[in-house]
Amino acid sequence: YKINMNDLKLEGELGKGQFGTVQKVFHKPTNVIMAMKEIRLELEVAKLNQILMELDVLHQSKNDFIVDFYGAFFTESCVYYCMEYMDAGSLDKLYNKGVPEDVLAIIIIAMVKGLKFLKDKLNIIHRDVKPTNVLVNRTGEVKLCDFGVSGQLVKSLARTNVGSQSYMAPERFNVTENGYGVQSDVWSLGLTMVELATGKYPYPALNGKGGGIWEQLSAIVNGKSPSLPSDKFSEECCDFAAQCLNKDPSERPTYPQLLEHSFVKKYQDVVVDMKSWAEESYSLRQDIYKE
Ligand code: ADP
């Protein structure tokens, strides 16, 4: 079903991204609530059409660990991307003071499976693995969003990319080593894991104006890799993070290797009440935002 603006009723802002807002919308013809991401982008019509064409592959590729894609359209100044509405929002606002190990395991396993699907089935690397790009719903499902499916969209956005916290692997700052490998996503996975577990981005933060960027980048490139506290997390859990955060990309495990890791084995048959965790974390999050 082709989606266009006239069929949508706007129901409020869900969040702000680097390139525009994300709105909750109601799609009248199908009665489906969706999240619509606006990406401000001035491009020639030919390139915009190319983006829509590239996004189209998502229609044939559903996966439990990837946010469903419903359709996209554009206007003169924006691309609109309609996707599954995830009613507990993104992990950055849900981890609060840190998530317990069993919940962490379910999240990390979902992320690895989602990333493996993107690579095996769509032949893409995510490029932007971080807590804001992992969404949760109140039934407890965990799914990835914001992956670089459209090469043209990635290229067009690259020129304007600015972030406040860097999840980029050390090798990506090496200007002589170009090309982004799947191993760089594994680093970002490890960094996300440490942040979720400890409740804190592990490197020096930037101030509002982007100051401190040098300290942050030099800590990533020259410093020791972040790690999990061994008194709070199991040996298997700490080792999983440590392997992802190996500074040598060629030493990082592949997705099949990660799925064979003792941390995954330990939790793969454990029933974790993700629904209660999602509901509770979501209500905590609302308390914070009321202040
Ligand atoms: P960024 O540019 O930082 O990656 P996004 O533009 O992707 O951020 O999203 C901004 C915010 O909107 C997210 O942090 C999240 O809270 C919310 N959001 C994004 N997609 C969805 C969705 N599918 N369902 C619910 N909330 C969403």
52-63 pLDDT tens trace: 999 999 998 899
Round to whole Å and give the CA distance between 173 and 164: 16
The 10s digit of each residue's pLDDT in 143-197 is 999 988 898 998 888 765 555 567 778 777 665 555 578 899 999 999 999 999 9
Are the CB atoms for 58 and 29 separated by under 8 Å? no
Indicate the top mutation candidate among 21, 22, 87 to test ligand 1's pocket, ranked by most ligand atoms within 8 A of CB. 22
Atom of ligand 1 nearest to the CA of 130: 4
Atom of ligand 1 nearest to the CA of 132: 14
Cβ 67 under 6 angstroms from ligand 1: yes
Cβ 66 under 6 angstroms from ligand 1: no
Are the CB atoms for 65 and 142 separated by under 8 Å? yes
What is the Å distance from ligand 1's center to 37 Cα?
8
In 10 A of CB 205, how many CB atoms?
11
The segments of the chain whose pLDDT lies below 70 read 159-165, 173-179, 210, 286-291
Query: Considering only CA atoms, which residue is closest to atom 8 of ligand 1?
Result: 17
Query: Considering only CA atoms, which residue is closest to atom 13 of ligand 1?
Result: 15
Round to whole Å and give the CA distance between 189 and 141: 18
| Residue 161 main-chain phi, psi, to 5 deg | -70, 120
- For 133, 138, 154, 216, 250, the CA distances from 147, given in Å and listed in that order, are 8, 22, 9, 24, 22
List residues with catalytic annotation.
128
Nearest to 273 by CA among 265, 284, 281, 264: 281
What is the Å distance from ligand 1's center to 236 Cα?
31
Round to whole Å and give the CA distance between 203 and 243: 18
Q: Is 74 helix (H, G, I), strand (E, B) or coil?
A: strand
Distance of CA 94 to the CA centre of its chain: 13
37 is in an annotated binding site: yes
Indicate the top mutation candidate among 11, 14, 157 to test ligand 1's pocket, ranked by most ligand atoms within 8 A of CB. 14
Round to whole Å and give the CA distance between 221 and 7: 48
Round to whole Å and give the CA distance between 190 and 244: 5
pLDDT on residue 207: 78
pLDDT on residue 20: 85
pTM: 0.91
Round to whole Å and give the CA distance between 47 and 67: 24
What is the Å distance from ligand 1's center to 203 Cα?
23
**DSSP symbol at 19:** S
The beta strands (E) that lie in 47-123 are given as: 69-74, 78-84, 89-90
Round to whole Å and give the CA distance between 166 and 41: 23
Cβ 156 under 6 angstroms from ligand 1: no
pLDDT on residue 290: 47
Atom of ligand 1 nearest to the CA of 19: 2
- For 116, 173, 246, 247, the CA distances from 170, given in Å and listed in that order, are 22, 6, 10, 7
